[in-house]
Chain A
Amino acid sequence: MTSATPTAAPLLELKGVSKCFARHSDWVDRAARVLEGVLATETIHAVDGVDLMILEREVVGLVGESGCGKSTLGRIAAGLLSPSAGMRLWRGAQLVETSQGVARAQQLKMQMIFQDPHASLNPRQRVVDIVGEAPVVHKMVKRRNQVEYVALQLNRVGLDPALMRRFPHQFSGGQRARIGIARALAVKPEFLVCDESVAALDVSIRAQVLNLFMDLRSALNLTYLFISHDLGVVRHVSDRVVVMYLGRIVESGPTDEIFAAPNHPYTQALLKEIGSVEPKKRRYVPIRGEIPSPLSPPSGCHFHPRCVHAMPRCREAAPRLAEIAPGRWSACYLNQAA
């Protein structure tokens, strides 16, 4: 297994991408807000000015606290959600919706495995169609070979092909997650966004699926954006890690370097808490300090209320994401001589 060479061409590039969700509050809502004395705005800056380049055959791990915008960024990267601002380039060319046909063929090359398999599987479709319909429609497989093709796809993710006539609700949670994985892989994508795709899998099946991902990367030149809260898994599969905090990228760099010496105080805090499988009854501790809200993000560096190194300037303006060593980027004033 070789990693992406430094000379590899960019496959997908996001430039200054943002996504806001505004709440259209009705008058009942507004009245209630006045009564409750709630003043915060109702706009969520889920993704805020993100630049991200993913090279061909690269596996980029995306980590960060729950609610920081990983899935939103993943959906934008996969072309399933249009950003409020910013550009998306595919192999150096800006992606625009041209004619329907082109867009659809384009879209097929980018697949996303959703965090919530339940919501993304049509409950009235049988597995044989959930997995096999798109390849048939797009003429990758002849209709009469659909069953055989689906059987192959199911086998790869450790599902019994005998169950392909079942509906999604007749499967266990982890089995459903694998149906989602099989569906995404069945159309032979070039770029795959995996959103917590192995979270619902037990360790042995997770190993099988991760091995499959890695095999496909060599066999089909697949490129991945790999979203996971599981730092052990991210460390295992990714070439590069990108760390998000409240909508922004705060650090990125080669996996081994980040795990060996994280630069950003948030990354340091995150890595410090990696769980171990040593059986020792732990006393868990609550989150210290105020939990930051994307509804009213802290000024300046979003991390300042929880940062042990916070300085006055951290409250005033957000630090730029700057290259601190070849290939390593971090957004923290500690890297800039005062």
Chain B
Amino acid sequence: MSETLLAIDGLCTHFSTREGVVRAVQDLSLRVGSGEVVGLVGESGSGKSMTAYSIMGLVDPPGRVIAGRISFEGRDLCALSAEEMRQLRGNRIAMVFQDPMMTLNPVMRIDAQMIEAIRAHDKISRGSARERARDALARVGIASPDERLRAYPHEFSGGMRQRVAIAIALLNRPSLIIADEPTTALDVTVQGQILFEMQKLSRETGAALIWITHDLSVIAGLADRICVMYAGRIVEEGTTADVLEAPRHPYTRGLFDSLPGNAPPRQRLRQLSGMTPSPLELPSGCAFRLRCKSADHACEQDPPMRQGGGPGQRARCFHPLLAVSTSDELQ
């Protein structure tokens, strides 16, 4: 692997709520090398966004990073002051939020927002900032960028707002981009355009990418490595090929079985049995245990992350699946 850009060790992010403590992220460790694309997948509520927020230093009370180290370009992010963190955000690390309105200000025109974002980190003239903003819009496939620059966020379609947020994240050529479901509403052609720009940036500047998504087809084509999260923890990681073709963790396997392509049209889709466990009362031991076909009494203990399968493939499971290719079995 190339030089480590981001190293997370033992990250725990918890929310203390009236109903109890939500362990949104639990003992999470992750490494991202420069130029590397890591796909982060997992169930809704499994802690993907909170992992990203923790890196960005954006966890709001009652949430708090209660343990762990996050080091980025050799600096300990948890030790930075609020001001130093602000300098880093939008400059060295950029995030594309799941909700584009987290990035966009509803009462400000797009040009003003983009120019401000550029000039916050780069002292160039308004005119050249405007030009850079215009080019950024064109790069994410927005037609008539000159006119669109003068529009307000509500005048854009859902997918266009997403693209504007992506354009803003790319403005200052960051070395790490965390993209949280950035293309959920984009058709394949426009998505292809965005992914092209991402790959180009990564090739040209060595930017690394953490790509959070449910869209396995995007991950399959883009990511070098995949991490699968369940109930706040990474339960499996490995190269894209290993995780997609020979998943070791029963949960990863369940994900693939639910794909629409694996059921006849207009018939019921296979779903994982059982409910997502409540974040307030996770079962002891393996959090997946009440939904897992292979569960036995051993699973009442915490399963450790264990090596197995392809190189660097690891799964948090006492009884990992044997390497049967998913594509064989799903025929």
User: Residues of A with Cβ closer than 8 Å to B?
Assistant: 1, 3, 21, 23, 29, 32, 36, 38, 40, 42, 44, 63-67, 70-71, 115-116, 118-119, 155, 158, 160, 162-163, 165-166, 170-175, 178, 195-196, 199-208, 210-211, 214, 229-233, 235-237, 239, 255-256, 269-270, 273-287, 290-296
Contact = CB atoms under 8 A, between A and B. Distances in A.
Contacts of A172: 44-45, 48-50
A296 B144 contact: yes
A236 to B, nearest CB: 4
B185 A284 contact: no
A33 to B, nearest CB: 8
| Secondary structure class of chain A's binding surface, majority of residues | loop
8 contacts: A195-B158, A196-B184, A200-B44, A204-B255, A273-B192, A285-B196, A292-B143, A293-B144
Interface stretch (B74-82, B113-121, B271-279): B271-279
A235 B266 CA distance: 8
A210 B260 contact: yes
Contact of B185 (A174, A178, A199): A199
B150 to A, nearest CB: 6
A203 B228 CA distance: 13
B323 interface: no
A29 B48 CA distance: 41
A66 B185 contact: yes
Nearest to B199: A284
B142 interface: yes
A204 B260 CA distance: 10
A200 B146 CA distance: 31
Contacts of B244: 277-279
B158 A278 contact: no
Interface string B157-174: 111110100000000000
A158 B275 contact: yes
Interface residues of B, number: 85
Given A173-B99, A204-B254, A211-B271, A275 B44 contact: no
The 8 closest A-B pairs by CB, nearest first: A174-B44, A275-B217, A66-B159, A293-B143, A282-B221, A207-B269, A293-B144, A236-B260
Contact of A206 (B99, B157, B196, B214): B214
Interface in B82-137: 98-99, 101
Nearest to A281: B221
A6 to B, nearest CB: 16
Contacts of A290: 143
Contact of B147 (A40, A63, A206, A283): A40
A279 B43 contact: no
Nearest to B214: A202
A279 B241 contact: yes
Contact of A280 (B101, B220, B254, B255): B220
A3 B266 CA distance: 8
B19 A283 contact: no
Contacts of B275: 155, 158, 160
Contact of B222 (A155, A178, A207, A282): A282
A203 B259 contact: yes
A172 to B, nearest CB: 5
A200 B190 contact: no
B91 to A, nearest CB: 25
Contacts of B272: 204
Contacts of B187: 63-66, 229, 270
B311 interface: no
